[in-house]
A and B are shown apart, each in its own frame.
Chain A
């Protein structure tokens, strides 16, 4: 693995295994997530990408009979340690989901919702505007902030969900196939957006789209049957994979 060591490890995943009612979905995965980079998690469907990603902000807590072992730290703090409040974890690790899920509220209130309920400091309006600008949505919605978010197109809704996450100013943003429900134009808009965002944020993106992973990420993790087959620089994983399974997958011979 050619990994530059001077980068700061924000999330550290150590020997993580996750099972649903005894069936292992993630098997003994260890990998770092570096500060202000984009890490892509790729792999065939059902290989455990979402399960792994959701363990980074304790979203698996809501699923009955999930069992997890191993350790995940955020800036050296154990996310699953005794006394850790999952609500606090999610304040610092935001998430964007596969299907856009805006609240049935106005555009403004969608973005303002997180900071408001958490009583975050500062001017809410400013936060909303900044977040919408960062999500490259501001120009399209600035004249209709009070409209229902449900009137936006799918691509706009997904960028709204990104803005909603950004308004919390999280340390890490997790994205679970954020473009899979979108058309190619909306997809490329979001990819452009990712380039902008990584200057300030640490991003982990799950995708089944290899080109997307190759285009946007600096690090790539290839998962198969819950096993982390390969992790490394995106260039290296796509051009000189160490494992032949990775090679078969990225060259499109299966999956």
Chain B
């Protein structure tokens, strides 16, 4: 019998390959276009307002007279939300993950883990409403000077919002540490606390760190819940009981109004967005650099 080693043409495969390539191109092209528009409009803004006024100004009143374009109040607002929410979400998230991964029985785990994933999917408006009707009154009961709209309430609710994600990701990171390491540690006379804190957590560090970065990115980007709970007052303060405005909240506020395209106010949107973009990019770059250094590989 004659054997034929000649391949048949595989048309379907070629077609699929081509369409995958197109999809890859589309995503890259759109990103590039977005960045170009952002850069162009931001440039237009800085032609009119000196960049130093923008970066170091302590008044942000682009919608009121006299107009002022100092970003610090918005930056400060965003920072308070990030720090405040991290204080809530990171420690509690790790603790919850340690409990789930190292101490909980399989039964508890199998119930709690899916619940965490559902919680992570609740729309953020709901959290904003929860902050207004529940967290703020509680804060007011403790600190009399608490404003109806305040940064603390928003930060706490954002913390609660990202908590399930942090807990779930940290749990995954802990679970990915092989049991053989735990057994090795136990066989040396370690208690479960020592095994957890000195072997498992350090081995899971890069995964834990990744969850932190994601939590912070989400806190920076969070808009709805923060607008509802913290109000819309660009306020250069570190007092968490006062109303503030974050960068994203400002963008929403102006976008919802009827600001004509091409005006300076319109261009502020792009300047703020560009800063936001730069910040998150820097965060992600540092994160991946740090993670590469911290990564402890194991079998």
Within 8 A of A (CB), among B150-198: 178, 180-191, 194, 198
Per a CB cutoff under 8 Å, which of B184, B190, B191 touches A97? B184
Across the interface, which residues of B come within 8 angstroms of A168, CB to CB?
188-189
* Chain A residues proximal to chain B, CB less than 8 Å: 57, 59, 62, 64, 87-88, 90-91, 94-95, 97, 99, 101-105, 113-114, 117-118, 148, 150, 161, 164-165, 168
| B17 sits at the interface (CB 8 A) | no
Q: B296 within 8 Å of A by Cβ?
A: yes
B132 on the A face (CB < 8 A): no
| B251 / chain A contacts, CB cutoff of 8 Å | none
Please state if B184 and A59 are interface contacts (CB–CB under 8 Å): no
Chain B residue numbers with a CB within 8 Å of A94 are 187-188
Asked whether B198 lies within 8 Å of A104 as measured between CB atoms, the reply is no
Known A-B contacts A97-B180, A101-B181; A57 and B187 likewise in contact (beta carbons under 8 Å):
yes
Residues in B with CB closer than 8 Å to A104 are 181, 202-203, 296-298
CB of B258 within 8 Å of the partner chain? no
Q: For residue A166, give the distance in angstroms from its CB to the closest CB of chain B.
A: 11
Return chain B residues, CB-CB under 8 Å to A165.
187-188
Say if the beta carbon of B199 comes within 8 Å of chain A. yes
Chain B stretch 90-113: residues in CB contact (< 8 A) with chain A: 105-106
Number of residues on chain B facing chain A (CB within 8 A): 24
Considering the complex, give the chain A residue whose CB is closest to the CB of B178: A101
From B178, B187, B202, give the contact of A59 (CB < 8 A).
B187
Inter-chain contact B297/A90, CB cutoff 8 Å:
no
Closest B-chain residue to A86, C-beta based?
A: B186
Whether B187 pairs with A117 at a CB distance below 8 angstroms is no
A57 contact set on B, CB distance < 8 A: 187
Identity of the chain B residue whose Cβ is nearest the Cβ of A57 in the assembled complex: B187
Knowing A90-B189, A91-B189, A117-B198, say if A103 contacts B297 (CB, 8 Å).
no
Q: How far is the CB of B181 from chain A (nearest CB, A)?
A: 6
Q: Which of A101, A105, A168 has the most CB of B within 10 A?
A: A101
Closest residue to B179 on the A side, CB-wise? A62
* Beta-carbon contact of A62 and B194 below 8 Å: no
In the complex, which of the residues B184, B190, B199 contacts A87, with contact meaning CB atoms closer than 8 Å? Answer: B190
20 A-B residue contacts at CB 8 Å? A57-B187, A62-B183, A87-B190, A90-B189, A94-B188, A99-B180, A104-B298, A105-B202, A113-B185, A113-B188, A113-B198, A114-B189, A117-B189, A117-B198, A118-B188, A150-B297, A150-B298, A164-B188, A165-B187, A168-B189
Inter-chain CA distance A101–B199, complex, in Å, is 12
